[in-house]
Amino acid sequence: MPRFIKVATLEELAASGALELEHEGLILALFRQGDEVIALDGMCPHQGGPLASGEIRNSVLTCPWHGWQFDLNSGRCLTARSISQARYPVRVEGSDILVELP
């Protein structure tokens, strides 16, 4: 059953604007875009690259390994259009970041 789990704080995310976390075997990538916090499956579907280390420009995330690109707002892969990266609902309570995980 999906539930919101505290995974980090805004202070932890603020340092770099992106954070890679592991929770029960799931790799998560957190990003800060203005006031919004975005949580994606952090493992690139191409060959497992670390999406949290990718570059973001105009809401497009580029994987650091081979350059596959993803729309941060939807999780859709812009390189292999049949693929969508899981994007998880996020809630911020005080400075705690909670992500709804499966």
Q: Which residues bind ligand FES (CB under 6 A)?
A: 44, 46-49, 63, 65-68
- Distances, alpha carbon 46 to alpha carbons 33, 34, 86, in Å: 24, 28, 14
- Distances, alpha carbon 78 to alpha carbons 27, 49, 63, 68, 99, in Å: 21, 16, 11, 7, 24
Q: 19 vs 61, which CB is nearer to ligand FES?
A: 61
Q: 31 vs 68, which CB is nearer to ligand FES?
A: 68
State the nearest-atom distance from the C-beta of 77 to ligand FES, in Å.
9
Can you give the length of the chain in residues?
A: 102
State the nearest-atom distance from the C-beta of 96 to ligand FES, in Å.
30
Q: 29 vs 97, which CB is nearer to ligand FES?
A: 29
φ and ψ at residue 11, rounded to 5 degrees: -65, -40
Q: 9 vs 53, which CB is nearer to ligand FES?
A: 53
State the nearest-atom distance from the C-beta of 54 to ligand FES, in Å.
8
Tokens for 67? 């350059």
